[in-house]
Amino acid sequence: MLEEVVVTGEKIVTPTKEAAETVYTGVEITKEGLELGGEKGAHNVWEAISILPGIIFESPDPANLASTQMSVKVRGVSGSLGSMSIEGIPIYGGNPIGPRTYILDLENFESIAVYKGAVPADLGPGAGTRGGTLQLRPLWASDNMGAAFQQSLGSFDYTKSFIRFDSGKLGQSDTKFSFSYSYADEDKWRGEGEIGPRNNVNFTFVQPLGDKLGIKLWGNFNEIRQHKLSSLTYSQADNLDEYGEYDYTESLTGTPATDWEYYDFNKSEWVNYDLYAFIDYTLNENFKFTLKPYFRQEKKEDWAGTGSISGPKGSQPGIQESGWTSRKWGANAEVNADLKYLKGLVGFQYEESDWMDSVAKNYWLNADGSQQFVGWGRYTESKGSSPRYSPYAKLSGSTGAFNWQTGIKYLKLKESENEGYITKFDSSGNPYLDREPKMDYGAREYSVWIPTAGLSYFINDNSEVYASYGKTFQQPYAYMPLISMYYALYDKFGKMGMTLEDLFKEYNPEETHNVDIGFRYRKNFVELNPTVFFSKHKNLNTTITPGWEDPDNPGQPLLYQGKPASYNTFVGKAQGYGFELGTNLIFSDNLTFFFNPTYTILTYDGDIVSKGTVYNTDGEQVVDVPEWSLTAGIVAKYKGIEAVPIVRYLGKRYGDLSHEEKIPSYAAVDLKLAYSLENFHYLKNSNLSLGIYNIFDKEYIVSPSYYPGAPFTVLGSLSFRF
């Protein structure tokens, strides 16, 4: 069978499957594959797996420390619409929605499984799975005592210190634990400010209790402060020679009309706490029970300058301070059966979450740089938690060379009720918050059935054909833009007899049907994995212009930000197909070549009306989705020296619905160099590493917000293991 074939050399990517499955529907990046990303790959999961076909990751941050402003596409779908888990426990958040791929040190993980089409029923329990699913496998505490230290330095005053300690097995109890800490910081490569400091703490704990019961704990803390990078307009992005280093202003001028763009008025802070437990009980060789309780908390504080903030006497430039705290807690319970002719798994996930908005505070800027409090921004208060529950089951089997599997998940989510408030002013111009039922929303329920199925056939020991089907989903998102629009037009909507809840009527889960047909071939030095994929999407988050009339100006359109009022809701449709090829040529233990191209067509079904304009989008490529992408490279080793040149190519795409804002194709080249010091007696467990990124300093755009991409960057490190 295919998985038993031995190929000489280190594996970068291998096929993978989950418990109670017989068909390989995913791929796994090994520890060796994760290391190809070098220092950049250690800070963001997307960077670490971006050598795979079908995954496009771009960031304006040279070291990937930043928590936002990155761009990810998985077969054309935003990666923020995917899920990520630590051995099945979700690690995700909201605003922006999606997996928190930047809060981990990848030094603490041994591999990452990736599912881009069908998702196993026991994975993807976060906010959704349309953008793929990532399954992280921790580097649990080692059986042997040891320590590792790494010091890294690089361009733009980048620095990172990482240390990890493993206790090894302690006494007769076989208790073992690990602890790691890292500190990282860098200057922004354009403009004034820092991305960092970033502090990360991780620990694992493993305790066997006899031959049948085992307990594992995994915990992670991450805190990062960062100044934001300014986005560009399309005309600026089209002229990077002049605007490539454009950013927020570096000093105050005494003119509020420009000082709201001061860099220290545009920053954020994120703090994440995660604590997960894994309790395994093996009844016998056929049955295993697992319980996975968890808790996570995320807190964000944000400061944003803006050219117009409403106050007691009209609007003026100023700053808005906002934030929120989100908590999630729950548990997964599973029974896994491995019988003679069948494998099966039955599970149940229950989760509750609550959301606590910090009241957004508005300030006008004075000429001397001081700030005048002028009230609050839009504010809604959650009146309880949001429960969700999800039973799921899988069944699989094999008959000779034929393998099959099927799965089903049901998800039901109830949103909490949210009460709204608006800012009013008394006769003296002093602000106060006033309860406003028209701003209420929530207390709605969503549900979805999610089936999966897979088939495979081993032609011989070297060849396998397979097919999979899976429905993926995404719970509704992008609440804040809709609430902000209603708040800005509160008086107008009141006269129109519309409440905020009226705008949420079409909020439904996005749904996608995925089909993969693939072939795997492994013989001698050749590994090939061509895959054809198809997708059908509905209830997509799409811009609409309802054509509202201004109640104060009959016959005139209702305007928002200077154009006919538009907002996003879940009514869109799209369809897609494509082809990807995973290629590894393992010539020897010292030489591997990989070549991973992807062709993606993802088109709109129907035209789109946005801000009063009709766009002929029917059959056109979705915004920010290139047809072609490619990652290719060589892993070459000689007497302790390793050289890994990698080229990344991204085809042209468009940044607007009219396809007038063309984002040109580009190719960037990286080079990783490493040298093992094993020939030096006192340094035999040490390693020198140097990553040179964007060697030719290629100028490019990170879409869709038009950020200049990271420039030529050098990041080096020295690591020790004891």
Q: What percent of the chain has pLDDT over 90?
A: 80
Residue 277 structure tokens: 């437990």
693 near 713, Cβ under 8 Å?
yes
Nearest to 338 by CA among 289, 402, 277: 289
**By mean pLDDT, which of 394-403, 632-641, 671-680 is the weakest?**
671-680
Residue 64 structure tokens: 């990937």
- Tokens 């300014």, residue? 230
Average pLDDT, the chain: 92
What is the structure's pLDDT at 202?
Answer: 98
Residue 15 structure tokens: 């096929």
What is the structure's pLDDT at 9?
Answer: 59
Asked whether the bond before 704 is cis by omega within 30 degrees of 0, the reply is yes
* Residue 491, C-beta contacts closer than 8 angstroms, at least 6 positions apart: none
- Mean pLDDT, residues 133-160: 96
* Residue 597, C-beta contacts closer than 8 angstroms, at least 6 positions apart: 53, 580, 581, 628, 629, 630, 632
State which H helix or E strand residue 313 sits in.
none
* Residue type (1 letter), 442: G
**DSSP-based three-state secondary structure for 38:** helix
Greatest mean pLDDT among 119-123, 199-203, 378-382, 568-572 lies in 199-203
What is the structure's pLDDT at 377?
Answer: 83
What is the structure's pLDDT at 677?
Answer: 82
CATH of the domain at 427: 2.40.170.20
What is the structure's pLDDT at 459?
Answer: 96
pLDDT digits (tens, 9 = 90+) for 506-565: 899 999 999 999 999 999 899 999 999 999 999 999 889 999 999 999 999 999 988 999
What is the structure's pLDDT at 612?
Answer: 87
Asked whether residue 6 carries a pLDDT value surpassing 80, the answer given is no
State which H helix or E strand residue 334 sits in.
strand 314-338
Name the domain count of the chain.
1
d(C-alpha 441, C-alpha 420), whole Å? 8
Q: What is the pTM for the complete model shown?
A: 0.93
* Other C-beta atoms lying within 10 Å of the C-beta of residue 134: 27
Asked whether residue 428 carries a pLDDT value surpassing 90, the answer given is no
296-301-307-311 Cα dihedral, nearest 10 degrees: 110
What is the structure's pLDDT at 127?
Answer: 84
Asked whether residue 319 carries a pLDDT value surpassing 70, the answer given is yes
d(C-alpha 316, C-alpha 306), whole Å? 9
Q: Which domain holds residue 428?
A: 2-721
For the chain, how big is the Rg over CA atoms in Å? 26
d(C-alpha 664, C-alpha 671), whole Å? 23
Residue 587 structure tokens: 């010539």
- Tokens 């609440």, residue? 479
d(C-alpha 193, C-alpha 227), whole Å? 6
Taking 3-state DSSP, the helix, strand and coil percentages for the chain, each rounded to the nearest 5, stand at: 10, 60, 30
Strands (E), 155-266: 158-166, 176-187, 194-209, 213-227
83 near 90, Cβ under 8 Å?
yes
What is the structure's pLDDT at 5?
Answer: 39
pLDDT digits (tens, 9 = 90+) for 643-692: 999 999 999 999 999 999 999 999 999 999 999 887 666 666 789 999 99
Asked whether residue 284 carries a pLDDT value surpassing 80, the answer given is yes
Nearest to 1 by CA among 610, 662, 520: 520
Asked whether residue 2 carries a pLDDT value surpassing 50, the answer given is no
372 near 364, Cβ under 8 Å?
yes
What is the structure's pLDDT at 4?
Answer: 40
pLDDT digits (tens, 9 = 90+) for 431-472: 999 999 999 998 889 999 999 999 999 999 999 999 999 999
Nearest to 262 by CA among 303, 311, 315: 303
What is the structure's pLDDT at 60?
Answer: 93
What is the structure's pLDDT at 94?
Answer: 85
**By mean pLDDT, which of 216-220, 247-251, 474-478 is the weakest?**
474-478
**By mean pLDDT, which of 273-277, 296-300, 370-374, 625-629 is the weakest?**
370-374
Q: For residues 680 and 590, which has the higher predicted lDDT (pLDDT)?
A: 590
- Tokens 């088109």, residue? 603
